[in-house]
Structure 1
């Protein structure tokens, strides 16, 4: 007699979260024969299969398996019974063959079942739930044969905690399998919201729900246990609001792990899970060391095969981690069984992590054990490299775990605090801390402290940090002297700071425009950064080096530099548990290089990671560089409004935070003035560039750029002779210093000034020189951004028609740009071409009137204020200003500032007399 309840699929809860994205994957398609749903316990496999069955119109047989079904005869008896229970007729012959079969050869039985299914008008579906209960190899082989010979349209769905030993590779090649693994099965944040609010009827805030989703990683069983725990803490009067914030309930999950997972495993595998729970990440070497065994790779493969909440962290199956909640439950269980053993294993784990360079994870373990004595030792030894590797904020956080008196009496820990505050851009309060360190060092030397020699070595660090502070105050001479003193001192001690010191020298030389010396210092910084294992310094030094190489016209060398350095960093610091290290200088240089080579999409891909830093808040110098590059790319793309917004923000931050910037940022005013010229506002361009001319920049590159912008502005105002006088003084300087990118731009602008005076032959000669220099350097976008006057001259140059890849690409770019402009002109009505920003209905009323705040924003835009300035004037957040502008644009039916102002004037919304 068969147990009929094994044929009953779980009734779907009408309140359950609808998972249409997964249901669609389970549907019939092409020649698919198998849906394979594999995930750990509690991931909703059975619920998903049940939901799909409820909406599936084809006849479906359901079979819930258990360990009693792990014999071929019983397995096929129940499988035939499932079809019979679901209404499949004509199974008598299959049942007869089963009763007469001897041994485990059930070929005739399976053949009869396949033949019966083939006679059906509609294709059937079969759901085998909990297939992980089957371990008999005969059953796996027989089921594979069954699936291979299914009639067309027949679909089998297996729900299992482990991947079954079926010929899946062959079926996947034939596209006969749909895989649904934990990453797909895990609840998304939106599904979590629906689960708590609809299924569990809990009135939680959205941040609470999203926090639980991240903590459980979409593991629905853990979410359900959390919800049940939260319901128990609701008000007895039946209020839906929790009295305390909901949290993932550890004990419930621990009990679930014990009963649903560990009790199903062998003792040996259970012991391995419990003993390795102390590891934040796992690899065979780590597990072998702490467990004093040699077969951990086999154990990890077994865990992966059984899908036991283990997540691969690479494509080579070398590194893994346990699901966080699963690991916590294991740790809890391990401490209950043998607390001393658990502590010993954790100490071994920390030792292994430290000896193999995984310092951050080791410190995290030390902090969780509240071992402040060891934390102080480890930070003193490794903290400097962590800070210069870009992890200054975690170091500052770890220092807070130590007693204040312990930090204040330890010069090494105090210097970690100093460097951490410096890189966190909290420099205002650094001077008292530096004085405190100096006093402490003086006392140790005077008292013949055992570490007096080490105390003297820290003086080099003090000189170096003071050089950076002097640089931020524009005290270049003092900064240079302190840097050289630090370099001299470092040769006599063991502190690995040469890379940072040479980077400081590189900044000094770059600020003076001494690019040869800057390159030499930055190459040294890269070299010593690799020796000292300081990836962040290597990236920053190499990034600034490539920036200089690009501006000198050595574009290919700049690309080779970035590639070489990126390869080294990825080879030595490719940690899947950490975000990829990004350098502002390097990504900015790459953005500029590919923008100039007219590969705008590739340029944008290098800019994208930097924008997150701007949004989240970054060091002000980096903020200015990123916004400058962002504005330059937007200008090249023709998005002048976007460029102006980014550049105005860069100028605002650069002026407001100048004392916190340790180098002179790019010439923002020059590029901003060029944007105003592109908008036809010569007066605003001149107002923008005049302050930069009155107070010349320290960096010769910036001085040149500002002078070029001045010449462009003079040409726009018809002052051609004055523009030539300005440019003629720049040519020998740019040639002497190998500022080749600027030299090309100078020659182009000079050619335009000559052409406006009717001196065409001289203009053409200038263009020839510009083309020759640009081809050597690989510059291209420069030409596309010049005036139509210049571009017409370029088309007439015989040189551009000569063979050569660069000539062809430049000519093609200019022709494509001309075609796009012509198409735009043809598509624009004549009336609109006369005034580009004028709309066709001058007096059309607004569908919705502007609010008082939107009217205020409109007036401030009309005054030329940037978003940040508007926010200051209105005493609101910049995000609020952006929201007002979006609403304003929507009501006016425009997309840009100029269009908004034009439309507002047409509607009489602006009073320009104010």
Structure 2
């Protein structure tokens, strides 16, 4: 049961200062999604937000958090409860999902909440104030990294207009830097809580309890420009600034708001008035970008830093807590800059020594990125080269390859060209950034350098030889991108032979490459073993990105073989390990295309489309912003499959045609055989009643060769489906008989169930009803054992009716009941559905036929709209599709026309006669 008083907004204190300046900052705006009100206790955060809520006309859900809410399920129960308590309807399914799902599956109910907010918003478009506000008070109690990641997801996908306000004593561990770049965040920190003259009067007399004269209040307010922290320091000293000259006619101490004058004020009016121990502590610790007792002790050569930090916190000396345990802090930036300036003036030699102590402590305690940031800021290039040589590989394999590239770019060219280790680091960083076209010349340069070192008996000749294994490993991946399987395999085996002699842990990456080799050759059992080894060594070597990629591909294979429970267990265990060892929520969450795609398929198959969509959503950004061709095909394939399952056939056709086109055009750049997009496209055409179009796709399918047995089986199953639809059941049976034997032999249980389903329909079409029922019973038994559900609902209306009539499905059981409900809920096909998006998909004209790969009707429509001068967003609006879909069409027509810009596309289209 939820405590309903947590949903009550506190009543505004009539004695509190009314602050319209800050209230206006909290108001909603076009892009904003988050108000961030951060200040220590007693800064009026809750009062300010309450005042704003009281005057706002937007519906508002209020939640007061406490230490007991730092648990994911409880936190979201209270968030949903806050919305319900304040009038949002339609959350029953969301609450039910939240109560039943596992902690790893909370993206489902969170997605349901987002969808409910979207539905509520779109149902009342006439009211500009219909968008909701959510206020989370005392958010500093929320420390669980799982909740922070979930809040990141929630805010990333909020519908336009919905506004979240967080009031907290500490800055939350959310991706605020990314959101600030997008102008999603309004920050109200202590530095922004500057008081007006009237607010100063209230502050000094009522809050601080000082009996100051009107002239003193005006003078202090003018001196500090209403900066509450500076005023508080003055008040804590027991007398206002310049009180000895209060009311003097010659008082000319008014301050303007700029960093230099604020710095002068901090140094002269604050720092110098502190006791000597505090003043020395402030100057010594200003070199720390963040502060904790251990770091401060190391810099100062003392052991009392925790006591002094707590004293500064009590006195609000520009110290901002970064957690609720009084362990980590930071100074206000302007205050720290002033301290650094003074410390450098007093003792330049000591300043350099203390800065070096800070960097050494950060490196010794695992804060490598922060240490490198300090080194780059000081432009100490030799030290940067040394630190990158030692730590760069681990950073790359933890997902920070782009940052490593930036740091390497900062190094002077002679430093880079003289170091094989740094060049190798650049190669790895480029490899993980998918910039493989830049690798060949760098590898040649690196090999020449190593050959010279060995020939000249260089002191590091042994290390140079060790780098050869890394070069061989990179070259094996490049060979895969050229479909040179033999070279890739030979190079990988050579690396495995020499791997124990290398200084860089490479086993996880090598076994991942071996897993890709086996997967590409269709040796699925060997692929699984190699990928399990990659996960195991990746955990030992602490390489989160490799663990995630290997585990994701492993789960993808397990799912497609029919081991759904095993695949889900693999995803869960790998995700938990990665989150444990890559747990900073401020950094981008590591995402594996393989794993999220596998999870999308798993939950789609289990008839949980919302949860499937929540795992697909992060991948769509990669499609829109550009990604490696193989990943593009996988993402579009699972996206199309989800659309197909939901009956959105035209959406499915568009993304699958895009996937098939990219797979054909970019095949040489894909390290594995892409999924069977053509097979699923054929099913889409059958579902919309376009049998002839499906037959055309079959001709293309039969002309293709497949090394991966999963793809080969999927395509042959689609061939049999089309044969049944064309009234050729005997041909379908002939197609399926050998396929059934091979799938059973290789234990591809998902395909085996699908084969048995299509086989039973073919037998029924031949009038062999008894054999058809027997085959269908086997299929249902196989589906029940594995937990397949959507597999049945996606079949033809004939098969669905046969399933509903089968006695085995009427037996008691949870799975039986769910499948019956799902089958009964499936709509019957109609002419309207059959015509969706395909009414104008006629035979291309002669001009279009001149192209090696003709433009689709949709691509021709996009081309015509480009010719009219429309921007992408206007094209999307005209066509009624997402901007991402428009980008995909433009990318495809560029590829088919062999052009690289709009101007070139229009010129080529006119030359071909496609445009007049």
* TM-score normalised over the length of structure 2: 0.66
1:518 corresponds, among 512, 523, 527, to 527
Matched, 1:360 2:369: yes
Structure 1 equivalent of residue 761 of structure 2: 752
| TM superposition shift of 1:887 | 2.7
Structure 2 equivalent of residue 532 of structure 1: 541
The residue matched to 2:598 in structure 1 has which SS? helix
The residue matched to 1:567 in structure 2 has which SS? helix
Matched, 1:455 2:446: no
Matched, 1:865 2:852: no
- Distance in 2 (alpha carbons) for counterparts of 1:45 and 1:264: 29
- Distance in 1 (alpha carbons) for counterparts of 2:293 and 2:869: 50
| TM superposition shift of 1:397 | 1.1
| TM superposition shift of 1:327 | 4.7
- Distance in 2 (alpha carbons) for counterparts of 1:46 and 1:458: 58
Q: Retained in 1: the 8 A contact 2:169–2:321?
A: no
Q: Deviations over 1:91-126 (max 9, x none)?
A: xxxxxxxxxxxxxxxxxxxxxxxxxxxxxxxxxxxx
Q: Go from structure 1 to structure 2 and tell me whether the alpha carbon gap of 1:469 and 1:14 turns closer, same or farther (over 3 Å shift).
A: closer
Q: Retained in 2: the 8 A contact 1:470–1:476?
A: yes
2:502 corresponds, among 470, 475, 493, to 493
Q: Retained in 2: the 8 A contact 1:311–1:323?
A: yes
Matched, 1:795 2:795: no
Q: Retained in 2: the 8 A contact 1:43–1:219?
A: no
Matched, 1:885 2:880: no
The residue matched to 1:428 in structure 2 has which SS? helix
Q: Go from structure 1 to structure 2 and tell me whether the alpha carbon gap of 1:270 and 1:478 turns closer, same or farther (over 3 Å shift).
A: same
Structure 1 equivalent of residue 643 of structure 2: 634
| TM superposition shift of 1:42 | 14
Q: Retained in 2: the 8 A contact 1:40–1:309?
A: no
- Distance in 2 (alpha carbons) for counterparts of 1:879 and 1:508: 45
Structural mapping, 1:796-835, within 5 Å: 796-815=805-824, 817-818=825-826, 821=827, 835=832
Matched, 1:426 2:435: yes
| TM superposition shift of 1:553 | 2.1
Structure 1 equivalent of residue 623 of structure 2: 614
Structure 2 equivalent of residue 407 of structure 1: 416
- Distance in 2 (alpha carbons) for counterparts of 1:353 and 1:615: 38
Structural mapping, 1:698-717, within 5 Å: 698-717=707-726
- Distance in 2 (alpha carbons) for counterparts of 1:216 and 1:441: 55
Q: Deviations over 1:821-840 (max 9, x none)?
A: 38xx9xxxxxxx6655889x
Q: Retained in 1: the 8 A contact 2:170–2:324?
A: no
Structure 1 equivalent of residue 62 of structure 2: none
| TM superposition shift of 1:321 | 4.5
Q: Retained in 1: the 8 A contact 2:689–2:834?
A: no
Matched, 1:687 2:702: no
The residue matched to 1:491 in structure 2 has which SS? helix
- Distance in 2 (alpha carbons) for counterparts of 1:275 and 1:440: 45
Q: For this pair of structures, how many residues does the alignment match?
A: 685
- Distance in 2 (alpha carbons) for counterparts of 1:325 and 1:409: 40
- Distance in 2 (alpha carbons) for counterparts of 1:689 and 1:645: 18
- Distance in 2 (alpha carbons) for counterparts of 1:758 and 1:879: 56
2:297 corresponds, among 270, 273, 288, to 288
Q: Go from structure 1 to structure 2 and tell me whether the alpha carbon gap of 1:210 and 1:592 turns closer, same or farther (over 3 Å shift).
A: closer
2:576 corresponds, among 567, 570, 576, to 567
Q: Retained in 2: the 8 A contact 1:553–1:740?
A: yes
| TM superposition shift of 1:773 | 1.8
| TM superposition shift of 1:744 | 1.2
Q: Go from structure 1 to structure 2 and tell me whether the alpha carbon gap of 1:223 and 1:482 turns closer, same or farther (over 3 Å shift).
A: farther
| TM superposition shift of 1:256 | 6.5
| TM superposition shift of 1:211 | 7.1
The residue matched to 2:516 in structure 1 has which SS? helix
- Distance in 1 (alpha carbons) for counterparts of 2:300 and 2:813: 65
Matched, 1:727 2:736: yes
Q: Deviations over 1:251-309 (max 9, x none)?
A: 35545765897678766556545444433444443333333344444455555566666
- Distance in 1 (alpha carbons) for counterparts of 2:350 and 2:756: 76
Structure 2 equivalent of residue 374 of structure 1: 383
| TM superposition shift of 1:874 | 6.9
The residue matched to 1:779 in structure 2 has which SS? coil
Matched, 1:599 2:608: yes
RMSD: 4.5
Structure 1 equivalent of residue 357 of structure 2: 348
| TM superposition shift of 1:448 | 0.5
Q: Go from structure 1 to structure 2 and tell me whether the alpha carbon gap of 1:322 and 1:690 turns closer, same or farther (over 3 Å shift).
A: farther
Q: Retained in 1: the 8 A contact 2:40–2:320?
A: no
| TM superposition shift of 1:249 | 5.8
**Larger deviation: 10-19 or 371-380?**
10-19
Q: Retained in 2: the 8 A contact 1:505–1:518?
A: yes
Q: Deviations over 1:413-468 (max 9, x none)?
A: 11112122222222223222111111111111111111111111111011111110
Q: Go from structure 1 to structure 2 and tell me whether the alpha carbon gap of 1:711 and 1:184 turns closer, same or farther (over 3 Å shift).
A: same
| TM superposition shift of 1:534 | 0.7
Q: Go from structure 1 to structure 2 and tell me whether the alpha carbon gap of 1:336 and 1:787 turns closer, same or farther (over 3 Å shift).
A: farther
Structural mapping, 1:391-406, within 5 Å: 391-406=400-415
Structure 1 equivalent of residue 260 of structure 2: 251
Structure 2 equivalent of residue 93 of structure 1: none
Q: Deviations over 1:457-495 (max 9, x none)?
A: 111011111110110111111111111111112122322
Q: Go from structure 1 to structure 2 and tell me whether the alpha carbon gap of 1:427 and 1:13 turns closer, same or farther (over 3 Å shift).
A: closer
**Larger deviation: 800-809 or 497-506?**
800-809
| TM superposition shift of 1:624 | 1.9
Q: Retained in 2: the 8 A contact 1:274–1:330?
A: yes
- Distance in 1 (alpha carbons) for counterparts of 2:258 and 2:812: 73
Matched, 1:17 2:24: yes
Q: Retained in 2: the 8 A contact 1:10–1:50?
A: no
Q: Go from structure 1 to structure 2 and tell me whether the alpha carbon gap of 1:580 and 1:793 turns closer, same or farther (over 3 Å shift).
A: same
Q: Go from structure 1 to structure 2 and tell me whether the alpha carbon gap of 1:310 and 1:481 turns closer, same or farther (over 3 Å shift).
A: farther
Structure 2 equivalent of residue 505 of structure 1: 514
Q: Retained in 2: the 8 A contact 1:216–1:222?
A: no
Q: Retained in 2: the 8 A contact 1:870–1:881?
A: no
2:479 corresponds, among 434, 453, 470, to 470
Q: Deviations over 1:766-796 (max 9, x none)?
A: 2111122222222211111111211111112
- Distance in 2 (alpha carbons) for counterparts of 1:885 and 1:179: 35
2:706 corresponds, among 682, 697, 710, to 697
Structural mapping, 1:763-778, within 5 Å: 763-778=772-787
Q: Retained in 2: the 8 A contact 1:41–1:260?
A: no
- Distance in 1 (alpha carbons) for counterparts of 2:291 and 2:392: 24
Structure 2 equivalent of residue 39 of structure 1: 39
| TM superposition shift of 1:680 | 2.1
| TM superposition shift of 1:742 | 1.3
Q: Go from structure 1 to structure 2 and tell me whether the alpha carbon gap of 1:283 and 1:46 turns closer, same or farther (over 3 Å shift).
A: closer
Unaligned runs of 5+ in 2: 1-13, 30-36, 57-139, 142-164, 197-221, 226-256, 840-847, 889-913
The residue matched to 1:494 in structure 2 has which SS? coil
- Distance in 2 (alpha carbons) for counterparts of 1:544 and 1:209: 33
**Larger deviation: 789-798 or 682-691?**
682-691
Q: Retained in 2: the 8 A contact 1:868–1:878?
A: no
- Distance in 1 (alpha carbons) for counterparts of 2:870 and 2:580: 40
Q: Go from structure 1 to structure 2 and tell me whether the alpha carbon gap of 1:722 and 1:39 turns closer, same or farther (over 3 Å shift).
A: same
Q: Deviations over 1:669-710 (max 9, x none)?
A: 222222222222223333344334312122221111111222
